Structure 1
Amino acid sequence: MTPEYSAHHLQVLEGLEAVRKRPGMYIGSTDSRGLMHCLWEIIDNSVDEALGGYGDKIEIVLHSDGSVEVRDRARGIPVDIEPRTGLSGVEVVFTKLHAGGKFGGGSYAASGGLHGVGASVVNALSERLDVEVDRGGKTWAMSFHRGEPGNFEGDTPDSTFTPFEFGSELRVAGKAPRGVTGTRIRYWADSQIFTKDAAFNLAELEQRARQTAFLVPGLEIAIRDEREDEPIETSYRFDGGISEFAEFLAPDAPITDIWRLTGTGTFTETVPVLQPTGAMIPTEVERLCEVDLAVRWGIGYETSSRSFVNIIATPKGGTHQQGFEQGLMKFLRSQVEQNARRLKVGNDKLEKDDVLAGLTAVLTVRVPEPQFEGQTKEILGTPAVRQIVSQVVTAALKERFASTKRDDKAQTSQLLEKIVSEMKARISARTHKETQRRKNALESSTLPAKLVDCRSSDVADSELFIVEGDSALGTAKLGRNSEYQALLPIRGKILNVQKASISDMLSNAECASIIQVVGAGSGRSFDLSAARYGKIILMSDADVDGAHIRTLLLTLFFRYMRPLIEDGRVYAAVPPLHRVIVHHPGTKPNEMIYTYSEKELHDLMKKLRSSGKKWQEPVQRYKGLGEMDAEQLATTTMDREGRLLRRVRVQDAEAAASMFELLMGNEVAPRRDFIVTSSDQLGRERIDA
Structure 2
Amino acid sequence: MPESYGADSLTVLEGLDAVRKRPGMYIGTTDSQGLMHCLWEIIDNSVDEALAGACDHITVTLHRDGSVEVADNGRGIPVDVEPKTKLTGVEVVLTKLHAGAKFGNSSYNAAGGLHGVGSSVVNALSSRLDVEVDRDGRTHHMAFHQGHPGVYTDADPASPSPDSPFKRTRKNRPTELEIVGTVPANVTGTRIRYWADPEIFNDTARFSYDQLIDRVRQTSFLVPGLRITVIDENVPESAADSAADAEPQDAAATTDAAAASDGAGEAVADVAAAVEPAEPADAIETGGSAETSEPATEPRPAAPAYDHERVVEFHHTGGVRDFVDFLSKGEPISDVWRITGEDTYEEETQAVDENGDLHARKVTRTCGVDIALRWVNGYDTVMRSFVNVVETPGGGAHVDGLMASITRQVRKTVEDNARRLKVNLKDAAQKVERDDIMAGLVAVVTVRIAEPQFQGQTKDVLGTAQARPIVSRMTDRQFGEMITGSKRGYKEQSGRVLEKIVGEMHARIQARKTKEVTRRKNALESASMPPKLSDCQPGNDDVAELFIVEGDSALGTAKAARNSAFQALLPIRGKILNVQKASLSQMLSNKECAAIIQVVGAGSGASFDIDQARYNKIVMMTDADVDGAHIRILLLTLFYRYMRPLIEQGHVYAAVPPLHRIALAGPRKGEVIYTYSDDELNVKIAELERDGIAYNPDIQRYKGLGEMDADQLADTTMDPRTRMLRRIRMEDAEEAAGIFSLLMGDDVPPRKRFIVDNADDFDRSKIDT
TM over 0.5: yes
User: Which of 330, 342, 361 is the matching residue for 2:408?
Assistant: 330
User: Which of 275, 280, 283 is the matching residue for 2:361?
Assistant: 283
Quote how far apart the aligned CAs of 1:441 are. Answer: 12
Q: Secondary structure at the match of 1:131?
A: strand
Give matches, 1:129-140, under 5 Å. 129-140=129-140
User: What is the aligned partner in structure 2 of residue 658 from structure 1?
Assistant: 734
Quote how far apart the aligned CAs of 1:24 are. Answer: 1.5
User: What is the aligned partner in structure 2 of residue 145 from structure 1?
Assistant: 145
- Kept after mapping to 2: 8 A contact 1:447/1:516: no
Higher alpha-carbon deviation: 521-530 or 18-27: 521-530
Quote how far apart the aligned CAs of 1:423 are. Answer: 2.4
Q: Secondary structure at the match of 1:295?
A: strand
User: What is the aligned partner in structure 2 of residue 114 from structure 1?
Assistant: 114
- Partners of 1:16 and 1:325 in 2: how far apart? 41
Distance 1:79 1:316, change over 3 A: same
User: What is the aligned partner in structure 1 of residue 422 from structure 2?
Assistant: 344
Quote how far apart the aligned CAs of 1:337 are. Answer: 2.2
- Partners of 1:121 and 1:532 in 2: how far apart? 53
User: Which of 172, 187, 190 is the matching residue for 2:179?
Assistant: 172
Letter aligned with residue 657 of structure 1:
A
- Kept after mapping to 2: 8 A contact 1:498/1:657: no
Superposed CA deviations along residues 176-196 of structure 1, whole A, max 9, x for unmatched, are 112011001111111111123
Q: Secondary structure at the match of 1:195?
A: coil
- Partners of 1:52 and 1:197 in 2: how far apart? 37
- Kept after mapping to 2: 8 A contact 1:498/1:660: no
- Kept after mapping to 1: 8 A contact 2:28/2:34: yes
Quote how far apart the aligned CAs of 1:29 are. Answer: 1.4
- Partners of 2:164 and 2:227 in 1: how far apart? 34
Superposed CA deviations along residues 268-292 of structure 1, whole A, max 9, x for unmatched, are 1111112222221111111111111
Distance 1:198 1:431, change over 3 A: closer
- Partners of 2:483 and 2:320 in 1: how far apart? 22
User: What is the aligned partner in structure 2 of residue 202 from structure 1?
Assistant: 209
Distance 1:134 1:559, change over 3 A: farther
Distance 1:401 1:662, change over 3 A: closer
Q: State the structure with bigger RCO (CA 8 A, min sep 6), 1 or 2.
A: 2
User: What is the aligned partner in structure 1 of residue 123 from structure 2?
Assistant: 123
Give matches, 1:25-40, under 5 Å. 25-40=25-40
User: What is the aligned partner in structure 1 of residue 461 from structure 2?
Assistant: 379
User: Which of 213, 220, 237 is the matching residue for 2:315?
Assistant: 237
- Kept after mapping to 1: 8 A contact 2:597/2:604: no
Distance 1:439 1:7, change over 3 A: farther
User: What is the aligned partner in structure 1 of residue 511 from structure 2?
Assistant: 429
- Partners of 1:70 and 1:116 in 2: how far apart? 18
- Kept after mapping to 1: 8 A contact 2:518/2:525: no
Quote how far apart the aligned CAs of 1:222 are. Answer: 0.7
Matched, 1:3 2:7: no
Give matches, 1:639-678, under 5 Å. 656-658=732-734, 660=736, 666=742
Superposed CA deviations along residues 204-251 of structure 1, whole A, max 9, x for unmatched, are 100111111111111111101112444621111111111011011112
User: What is the aligned partner in structure 2 of residue 161 from structure 1?
Assistant: 166
- Partners of 2:59 and 2:203 in 1: how far apart? 26
Quote how far apart the aligned CAs of 1:451 are. Answer: 9.8
Q: Secondary structure at the match of 1:362?
A: strand
- Kept after mapping to 2: 8 A contact 1:558/1:654: no
Matched, 1:220 2:227: yes
- Partners of 2:738 and 2:350 in 1: how far apart? 51
- Partners of 1:499 and 1:409 in 2: how far apart? 23
User: What is the aligned partner in structure 1 of residue 500 from structure 2?
Assistant: 418
- Kept after mapping to 1: 8 A contact 2:507/2:604: no
User: What is the aligned partner in structure 2 of residue 370 from structure 1?
Assistant: 452
User: What is the aligned partner in structure 2 of residue 257 from structure 1?
Assistant: 335
User: Which of 473, 482, 498 is the matching residue for 1:400?
Assistant: 482
- Kept after mapping to 2: 8 A contact 1:448/1:513: no
User: What is the aligned partner in structure 1 of residue 395 from structure 2?
Assistant: 317
Quote how far apart the aligned CAs of 1:562 are. Answer: 8.4
User: What is the aligned partner in structure 1 of residue 324 from structure 2?
Assistant: 246
Q: Secondary structure at the match of 1:407?
A: coil
Letter aligned with residue 345 of structure 1:
V
Distance 1:430 1:214, change over 3 A: same
- Partners of 1:173 and 1:380 in 2: how far apart? 42
Quote how far apart the aligned CAs of 1:54 are. Answer: 1.2
Q: Secondary structure at the match of 2:742?
A: coil
Q: TM-score, normalised by structure 1?
A: 0.68
User: Which of 162, 183, 193 is the matching residue for 2:200?
Assistant: 193
Superposed CA deviations along residues 472-511 of structure 1, whole A, max 9, x for unmatched, are xxxxxxxxxxxxxxx99xxxxxxxx99999999xx9xxxx
Quote how far apart the aligned CAs of 1:665 are. Answer: 7.3
- Partners of 1:272 and 1:411 in 2: how far apart? 47
Letter aligned with residue 107 of structure 2:
S
- Partners of 1:219 and 1:557 in 2: how far apart? 42
Aligned residues: 529
Quote how far apart the aligned CAs of 1:414 are. Answer: 2.4
Quote how far apart the aligned CAs of 1:148 are. Answer: 0.7
- Kept after mapping to 1: 8 A contact 2:413/2:484: no
Larger-Rg structure: 2
Letter aligned with residue 229 of structure 2:
A
Letter aligned with residue 658 of structure 1:
E
- Kept after mapping to 1: 8 A contact 2:410/2:483: no
